[in-house]
Chains A and B, each alone.
Chain A
Amino acid sequence: MQLLNKKPESLLDVKMHYCPGCGHGIIHRLVAEVMDELGIRERTVGVAPVGCAVFADTYFNCDMIQGPHGRGPAEATGIKRARPDTIVFSYQGDGDLASIGMAEIVHAAIRSENITVIFVNNAIYGMTGGQMAPTTLLGQKATTCVEGRTAKQAGYPIKMSEMLATVDGAVYLERTTVHTAPGVLKTKAAIKKAFQNQVDGKGFSMVEILSMCPTNWGTRLDNPSEATKFVAEGMQPVFPLGVYKDAGAEKK
């Protein structure tokens, strides 16, 4: 018998707390596979956010830190500047990165901190129970906009990759999705590139990953296609996939 695929060494064999159908587990595994493949596990420090991925510190098999809501890029800055021999990634959700942590992510990009940011966008606050996120779609229902988000009352969903693409210091920005198998493969390639950029000293890289939240979207848990359909038909038109910046490729 031949072992074709094994659990990555960079992910611990512990039970995750994520809901059925959630994308975090997939994304954790992709990050871990990349750490394995690049051989950087032993010098990687991960920053866990506040939000659904708060327990990421217990899942990854590398040094981890968990800090205040939204401040991951600041923590990552401190770690990287104090110990430039480490590889540092900040793992953040949409409330963490695009709401409370907006200043930190933008300024980390402005300084072109040589860090990797994994941004999981599922258009909802998960851990706190389904409140409106900065990326919640117009018309999408949440517990703080029960009739659906309106532009008049709550403004528009923020497009982080597009916005950060205007920042000179941002080196690599790509939006991917994990709601399809090809999307998962593309996401892994993007994550790998975002880490490779850091290894090569290129500067700030972020992968924005569209992900599912069946629990808080209210889609049926026994029918995952409802959630994947929301990504494809609801989120993707607002958050188009693609490379928004690849300055590293231009600089030779």
Chain B
Amino acid sequence: MAEKKLMKGNEALAEGAIRAGCRFFAGYPITPQNEIPEYMSWRMPQVGGAFVQAESEVSAINMIYGAGATGVRCMTSSSSPGISLKQEGISYCAGADLPVFIGNVMRGGPGLGNIAGAQGDYWQATRGGGHGDYRTFVMAPNCVTELGNFPHKCFEVSFKYRIPSMVLTDGLLGQMMEPVDFKHPEIDPKSLPEPDWALGVARGRGKRIVKSYDLKEGGVEIMVNERVKRYQRIEASEVMYEEKMLEDAEVALVAYGISARVSVAAMKMAREKGLKVGLFRPITLWPFPKARLVELSARIKSFVVVEMSLGQMVEDVLLSLNGRAPVHLYAKPGASLITAEEVCAALEKIMKKGAKEYAAVK
């Protein structure tokens, strides 16, 4: 095995994308994701790819729209306000079935907010964010190694189902350094088949069109319905999650990304106090691991959602469980870090009081 390397999360995400065959990147500076365009600016030329510092996030996503239409693996990244600017373009990518890859290193919001890590873009990432009926494949890493490896999965899913994909992370994971272990063999883009929809040099084939519109009556309905079938296949086969100490747990913490790491510490503290607590970590946020939560509800008494937001993923947990078990929320908006001590205290309150109803416990 190669020597472990200490890397910043943002750099690991960039390197991971390149190792997954990404050969075009366009982005615009915004904290806390600046290491991604910085890294790409010198790394892309090394692998024969192209880097453009765009004039805006809007322009960057449209460069990706163009590059993605040629079938080249491409990426843009930003942080929350910049991702808002990209939403129109992401909607177009979804509408034109382009397999583009987006990194969102979340910061505090709404508005300019702050530059600390946060989880307030869950709804935006999983509900679309842009206009129209569409889905984006969303993965939430919880460590630098996952940041380095998830681009591989994102490109794989993106190209298999022709859907935009996103790694949803935050300023904490983006800025932190950890040993990174790239698990996938490096992909040489030349070894990848040229998609049969990609624009480029025709060499005798007929013309191809990449577009998201159809003005014929019922045309868009047909397009969306066809897409829905692909979404259903993704929901059936691409769900990912992680479980810790759920075998004997009475209460399951449900958290993703950085909150899941805090929750592990809280879980250990609670276990030391004799509380039977486990952790359920959704890795794909869309598709959300609904079915597994329902299975768990047969033996888990209640679920405690931990989020660095005002409580967004909790709605997916509620929808998944649909009343099968009580759901509690420990949430902190405004890019304020949740501590393990707080979560542990909340667990004690919930488990000793035996609250039955959904409530924000902060």
Binding site for B on A (CB under 8 A): 41-43, 45, 47-48, 54, 57-58, 60-68, 71, 74-83, 85-86, 103-104, 106-107, 110-111
Q: Name the B residues within 8 Å of A66 (CB-CB).
A: 209-213
Give, as a whole number of angstroms, the nearest-CB distance from A218 to chain B.
Answer: 26
* Contact present for B207 and A82 (CB under 8 Å): no
* Contact present for B213 and A65 (CB under 8 Å): no
* Contact present for A62 and B212 (CB under 8 Å): no
Residue of B68, B203, B207 touching A62 (CB-CB under 8 A): B207
Binding site for A on B (CB under 8 A): 23-24, 26, 50, 52, 54-56, 58-60, 62-70, 72, 74, 88-89, 92, 96, 199-204, 207-213
* Extra contacts besides A103-B55, A107-B55 (10): CB < 8 Å: A41-B202, A42-B203, A43-B200, A65-B65, A66-B210, A75-B63, A78-B68, A79-B199, A81-B24, A82-B24
Q: Name the B residues within 8 Å of A74 (CB-CB).
A: 54, 58-60, 62-63, 65-66
What are 6 pairs between A and B in contact, CB < 8 Å? A43-B200, A63-B207, A68-B88, A74-B54, A79-B70, A82-B23
CA distance in complex: A110, B210 (Å): 27
* Contact present for B62 and A104 (CB under 8 Å): yes
CA distance in complex: A104, B57 (Å): 11
Q: With A63-B199, A78-B66, A83-B70 given, is the CB distance from A68 to B89 under 8 Å? A: yes
Q: Name the B residues within 8 Å of A83 (CB-CB).
A: 70, 72, 199-201
Residue of B63, B96, B202, B209 touching A78 (CB-CB under 8 A): B63
CA distance in complex: A68, B95 (Å): 11
Nearest A residue to B100 by beta-carbon distance?
A78
CA distance in complex: A24, B62 (Å): 25
* Contact present for A82 and B209 (CB under 8 Å): no
CA distance in complex: A79, B23 (Å): 12
Residue of A43, A79, A82 touching B202 (CB-CB under 8 A): A43
Q: Name the A residues within 8 Å of B60 (CB-CB).
A: 74
Residue of B59, B65, B72, B201 touching A103 (CB-CB under 8 A): B59
Nearest B residue to A86 by beta-carbon distance?
B200
With most chain A CB atoms within 10 A of its CB, the pick from B50, B72, B89, B199 is B199
CA distance in complex: A63, B203 (Å): 12
* Contact present for B56 and A103 (CB under 8 Å): yes
